Amino acid sequence: MKKFKLTPRIKRRLDRLFSKYILGRANRICERCGAIGVKCDTAHIIPRPVIGLRWCPENALCLCVKCHKYGVDSFHQNPLAFYRWFSGAFGEEHITKLLKASEVEVTFSAEDVEEIEEMLKIA
Ligand SMILES: [Zn+2]
């Protein structure tokens, strides 16, 4: 098999598609506070450097910037408060599943990237 490298360019392309997918899945409504018509971000639960979960829909939410980064009880400002909300909304099993998946070493092939692209485009 030909050697494949997940270049920054490919990552950016997948990031753009992934963000469109996550925001579209939620109709650009903040999944935490329900805000409509405000700027929303794609927020990763397990951070993006964990490459195996970077484009995993179960690992991301559509959040308004207040819930994501800037509010006093936002994901970035107050991770514990966010965690409490997240575990209540999605369940401890979901968190356990993500943490387990984050421990797995993942490498991507060209076919994997194609598959991810197809999955994200279908939405
Ligand atoms: Zn919000």
In a domain, 103, yes or no: yes
Residue 3 has a pLDDT of: 81
The answer to whether the CB of 67 falls within 8 A of the CB of 33 is yes
Q: What is the DSSP string of 55-100?
A: T-GGGEEEEEHIIIIISTTSTTT-HHHHHHHHHHHH-HHHHHHHHH
Q: What is the pTM of this model?
A: 0.92
Ligand 1 mean position to 9 CA, how many Å? 30
Ligand 1 mean position to 38 CA, how many Å? 9
Ligand 1 mean position to 90 CA, how many Å? 16
| Number of domains the chain contains | 1
Q: Show the domain range for 32.
A: 8-118
Give the tens place of pLDDT for each residue, 33-62. 999 999 999 999 999 999 999 999 999 999
In a domain, 71, yes or no: yes
Residue 2 has a pLDDT of: 66
Burial of 53 (0-12, 13-18, 19+ CB in 10 A): buried
In a domain, 68, yes or no: yes
In a domain, 123, yes or no: no
Residue 91 has a pLDDT of: 97
In a domain, 62, yes or no: yes
In a domain, 1, yes or no: no
Q: 62 forms bridges with which residues in the sheet?
A: 42
Cβ neighbours of residue 27 under 8 Å, at least 6 residues apart?
none
In a domain, 2, yes or no: no
Ligand 1 mean position to 75 CA, how many Å? 10
